Amino acid sequence: MAQKSQKKKNKDDNANENCQALILKTHQDTISYLIGRDIGNNMKTNDIAVTPEIMFAGLKDGINGIDSVFSAEQTEQIMMVFQQDMMAKQQKKTAESCATVKAEGDAFLAENRTKDGVVSLPSGLQYKVITEGEGENPKPEDVVEVHYTGTLIDGTVFDSSVERGETIKFPLNGVIPGWTEGVQLMKPGAKYMFYIPSSLAYGDKTTGPIPGGSVLIFEVQLISIEKK
């Protein structure tokens, strides 16, 4: 705890030193600094390497309306190559991240399938019965009403009707394949845990807070079925 406090103190001291070295006399000075800081932070966040002195020169020329040293055609060609390079870099980064997430998910499912009460299906879907229900099982074309909580394998909750305090209704054939297959095993009143591989969820695509390649865990309670 003392280490963390010391690190924060050092960071605050550095910030104070920077403020003392940089004299902001007017509101315009303050806004100018903050805009520049935001641009720099975006460069860092997006891993864009720049030569600050040259970037400042270009910024100054733009503000003062000075013509670019490059023609419009040259600028278009250079920026097109730059954007292609950035896209390739991002795709590589995403693919590497996805591969890591998938490897972690595969390891999780391999261990999970050995646990008491967990059933593994040929599709790769795993489930565990918490409470059995009564009545008929839904068919893919039926509308089901459920309560659910969805988490990643590290326990991060990414969606929950329980937290919202509202059940949700949807056609069973209108959701991810893992849900369509899994909920058909349930009867009204049942509560199951589903462990869904990425191939039965969102695949390699990042969807909102769900990283590409993720195994999804759902606790699902089937409330009712509307037959179609």
Catalogue the active-site residues: 148, 158-159, 176, 202, 218
CA distance 61 to 150: 51
Sign of the torsion formed by the C-alpha atoms of 37, 43, 49 and 50 = negative
Which amino acid is it at 4?
A: K
Q: Helix or strand or coil: residue 71?
A: coil
Secondary structure string (H, E, C) spanning 87-110: HHHHHHHHHHHHHHHHHHHHHHHH
Which is nearest to 191 in space by CA: 141, 134, 112? Answer: 134
| Cβ 141 vs Cβ 190: under 8 Å | no
CA distance 4 to 94: 32
Q: Given its phi and psi angles, is residue 120 left (phi above 0), alpha (psi -120 to 50 degrees) or beta? A: beta
Q: Helix or strand or coil: residue 213?
A: coil
**Cα 4 vs. chain centroid, distance in angstroms?**
28
